[in-house]
């Protein structure tokens, strides 16, 4: 049996092992498990049932992740997209006054459009058309983005009204727990200990418990709540008019999913070494899974499902095949019944997540290795790359960073008369980005 699994996923072929894949799947889950609690907290502001959204999030994440593991065979986990959930709640439902059932239907239509362009191979063509310098820059930019989130989760970087951000209180117990976990991870990574990130998170959790920062609520198994309040509610919408408001919402849902996913796949592909000669094998399958996940998620009762950049932590722990995704998916299912245990390690401590912060910082470091692959002597490649990698963390948006890179790259190539046929797709997307931002500005 184990031999058949090995052959199917190509575990030995990827020079991995069952233990590495299992640890990688565990690490990925622990670094992204916060979405289980964040998603219902955000969508409840759109008047959705908290408990039902929790269940929908777990089921949708498990479905999409296991689909990714079996069909695309990549160690990439999927879950509701951060940022997209905020757009769904605060822009569409609250800002536009759209009922959440209608907003979910619009989200579903956006997902169906994404499924279509994925099936015809358009998303894969975009992936292949992106210049290598921008691929590397996207990977670095997302690495910096992840590290910034890690610093925020740790309390090392905090908001400042004067300068935007500033150094946090390094004597705060929560910060010390984060630094302790980070130190353990770094030492273990240097010594090449398998599961270094997971061990570091466990060590940080133990210290947090000793200091009284987290408390085990007791109990182990608890039956999940009902999903009925959100399940299949998109089919109960009686009046659905394709007004300008709804059309703009559908477009943004599609647009965000299209480019956030591309950026994530490029970054993860770069980190794991999947991208060869500018191409990523089975990319069409991965993009299709991502799109189908969104459609499935809206039926369950949650917003856009996307490939999670936190999968980089599992890859950093050694995961290289879809078997790791199967492990992550099973943990999403298990979290429905073992909520007390999941909440303990992924606990929110005074608005921070000190137990998982270190893993994000270490992964950010690992993803910046692509920096050396950029040709810094050629300003026509260096400037777009720099804008991409800096705009992503500074705007907290992968899409905005990609837009900055595409637009500047096309502009420079056009002005210097170096634009050729291989740049056509990037140029078209650059124009679409300009129109998108102009439209957003006009509407605002």
pLDDT tens digits along 126-142: 767 888 898 889 888 88
Q: Are residues 415 and 310 in the same domain?
A: no
**Local structure of residue 156 (DSSP, 8 states):** S
- In a domain? residue 5: no
Instruction: Evaluate whether residue 4 is within a structural domain.
Output: no
Helix, strand, coil share of the chain (percent; to 5): 70, 5, 25
Write down which residue in 370, 390, 414 finishes a domain: 370
Q: Based on the domain organization, do 162 and 252 belong to the same domain?
A: yes
- Start-to-end Cα distance in the chain: 58
Helix 244-272 with 122-129: angle, nearest 10 deg: 50
The pLDDT score that the predictor gives to residue 362 is 87
- According to the per-residue pLDDT averaged within each range, which of 170-179, 215-224, 283-292 is highest? 170-179
pLDDT tens-digit profile of 53-112?
Answer: 999 999 999 999 999 999 999 999 999 987 788 888 887 898 888 899 999 999 999 999
In this structure, is residue 403 part of a structural domain? yes
Per the domain annotation, does 259 fall within a domain? Answer: yes
Q: Residue 260 above 80 pLDDT?
A: no
Q: Using the predicted structure, report yes or no on whether residue 444 has a pLDDT greater than 70.
A: no
Give the pLDDT score at 171.
94
| Helix or strand holding residue 384 (H, E) | helix 379-395
Lowest mean pLDDT among 107-116, 254-263, 418-427: 254-263
pLDDT at 149: 85
Are 375 and 424 members of one domain? yes
Same-domain status, 179 and 133? yes
Position 297 confidence tier, pLDDT thresholds 50, 70, 90 = very high
At 52, the pLDDT band (50, 70, 90 cuts) reads: very high
What is the chain's mean pLDDT, rounded? 87
Per-residue pLDDT, 370: 82
* Residue whose entry in the numeric block shows the structure tokens 């637009």: 407
Q: Is there a contact between 263 and 399 (Cβ–Cβ < 8 Å)?
A: yes
Last residue in a domain, options 370, 401, 435: 370
Contact predicate 165/394, CB 8 Å: no
pLDDT of residue 194: 65
Asked if residue 339 belongs to a domain, the reply is yes
* CB 76 within 8 Å of CB 28: no
Task: Output the furthest CA–CA distance in the chain (Å, rounded).
Answer: 67
User: What is the per-residue pLDDT for 438?
Assistant: 84
| Domain assignment present for 9 | no
Is the same domain home to 106 and 255?
yes
176 within domain boundaries: yes
- The answer, yes or no, to whether residue 295 has pLDDT greater than 60, is yes
State the pLDDT confidence band at 312, using cuts at 50, 70 and 90. Answer: confident
The pLDDT score that the predictor gives to residue 342 is: 62
What's phi and psi for 305, nearest 5 deg? -95, 135
Token pair of 104 as six digits: 């979910």
- Is residue 127 domain-shared with residue 209, that is, in the same domain? yes
Residues 350 and 379 in one domain: no
- If asked whether residues 348 and 389 sit together in one domain, one would say no
Strand bridging mode 164-167 / 78-80:
unpaired
pLDDT at 348 over 80: no
Q: For position 183, what pLDDT does the model report? A: 97
Q: What is the mean pLDDT of residues 166-193?
A: 93
Residue whose structure tokens are 């198994």: 221
Distances in Å between the Cα of 410 and the Cα atoms of 94, 174, 199, 313, 413 are 37, 45, 45, 33, 5
Mean pLDDT of 388-417: 90
Query: Using only C-alpha atoms, what is the Rg of the chain?
Result: 21
Dig out the tokens for 339 from the structure: 């909520």
pLDDT (0 to 100) of residue 71: 96
CA distances from 320 to 14, 212, 254, 268, 345 (A): 7, 37, 29, 11, 25
Q: How confident is the model at residue 247 (pLDDT cuts 50, 70, 90)?
A: confident
By the 8 A CB rule, do 356 and 153 touch?
yes
pLDDT at 442: 65
Residue 196 lies in a domain: yes
Q: Tell me, yes or no, whether 381 and 363 share the same domain.
A: no
> What pLDDT sits at residue 32?
84
Structural domain range at position 174: 14-370
Say if strands 157-160 and 78-80 run parallel, antiparallel, or are unpaired: unpaired
Claim to verify: residue 364 and residue 248 sit in the same structural domain: yes
pLDDT over 90 at 168, yes or no: yes
Please give the residue that has the higher pLDDT: either 361 or 124.
Answer: 361
In this structure, the number of other CB atoms found within 10 A of the CB of residue 169 comes to 12
pLDDT per residue over 322-343, tens digit each?
999 999 999 999 989 877 766 6
- In this prediction, residue 346 carries a pLDDT of 63
* 355 and 410 part of one domain: no
Distance CA 199, CA 259 (A): 33
H-type helices in 89-154, by residue range? 100-119, 122-129, 132-154
The pLDDT value given to residue 298: 96
Q: In terms of pLDDT, which residue wins out, 245 or 113?
A: 113
The pTM of the full predicted model, rounded to 2 decimals, is 0.74
Task: Kindly give, in sequence order, each residue whose CB lies less than 8 Å from that of residue 407, ignoring residues fewer than 6 positions away.
Answer: 430, 433, 434
Same domain, 90 and 195: yes
Is the pLDDT assigned to residue 443 strictly greater than 60? Answer: no
**Whether residue 20 has pLDDT greater than 90:** yes
What is the spatial distance between Cα 91 and Cα 94, in angstroms, rounded to a whole number?
6
Of the pLDDT bands very low, low, confident and very high (cuts 50, 70, 90), residue 117 is: confident
**What is the tally of structural domains in the chain?**
2
Last residue of a domain, one of 343, 370, 397: 370
Specify the higher pLDDT residue, 172 or 341.
172
């Amino acid at each position: 049996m184990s031999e058949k699994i090995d052959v199917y996923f190509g575990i030995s072929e990827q020079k991995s092992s069952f233990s590495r894949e299992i640890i990688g799947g565990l690490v990925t889950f622990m670094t992204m498990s916060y979405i289980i609690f964040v998603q219902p907290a955000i969508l409840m502001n759109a008047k959705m049932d908290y408990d039902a959204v929790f269940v929908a999030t777990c089921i949708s994440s498990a479905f999409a992740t296991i689909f990714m593991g079996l069909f695309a065979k990549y160690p990439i986990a999927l879950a509701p997209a951060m940022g997209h959930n905020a757009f769904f709640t605060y822009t569409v439902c609250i800002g536009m006054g759209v009922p959440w059932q209608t907003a979910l239907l619009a989200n579903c239509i956006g997902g169906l459009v994404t499924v279509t362009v994925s099936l015809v191979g358009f998303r894969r063509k975009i992936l292949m058309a992106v210049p290598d310098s921008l691929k590397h820059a996207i990977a670095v930019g997302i690495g910096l983005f992840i590290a910034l989130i890690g610093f925020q989760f740790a309390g090392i970087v905090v908001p400042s009204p004067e300068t935007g951000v500033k150094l946090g209180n390094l004597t705060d117990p929560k910060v010390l727990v984060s630094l302790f976990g980070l130190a353990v991870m770094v030492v273990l990574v240097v010594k090449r200990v398998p599961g270094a990130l997971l061990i570091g998170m466990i060590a940080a959790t133990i210290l947090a418990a000793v200091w009284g920062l987290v408390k085990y609520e007791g109990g182990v198994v608890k039956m999940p709540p009902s999903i009925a309040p959100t399940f299949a509610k998109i089919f109960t919408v009686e009046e659905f008019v394709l007004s300008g408001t709804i059309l703009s919402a559908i477009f943004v849902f599609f647009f965000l999913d299209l480019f956030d996913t591309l950026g994530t796949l490029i970054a993860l592909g770069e980190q794991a070494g999947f991208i060869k000669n500018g191409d990523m094998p089975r990319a069409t399958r991965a993009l299709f899974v991502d799109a189908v996940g969104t459609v499935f998620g809206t039926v369950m009762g949650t917003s856009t499902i996307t490939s999670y950049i936190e999968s980089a932590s599992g890859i950093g722990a050694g995961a290289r095949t879809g078997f790791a995704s199967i492990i992550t998916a099973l943990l999403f299912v298990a979290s429905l019944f073992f909520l007390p245990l999941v909440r303990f390690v992924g606990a929110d401590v005074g608005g921070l997540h000190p137990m998982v912060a270190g893993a994000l910082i270490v992964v950010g470091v690992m993803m910046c290795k692509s920096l050396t692959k950029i040709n810094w002597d050629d300003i026509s490649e260096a400037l777009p790359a720099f804008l991409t990698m800096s705009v992503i963390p500074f705007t907290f948006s992968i899409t905005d960073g990609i837009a900055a890179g595409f637009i500047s790259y096309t502009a420079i190539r056009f002005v210097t008369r170096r634009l050729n046929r291989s740049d056509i797709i990037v140029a078209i997307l650059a124009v679409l980005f300009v129109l998108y931002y102009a439209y957003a500005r006009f509407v605002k």
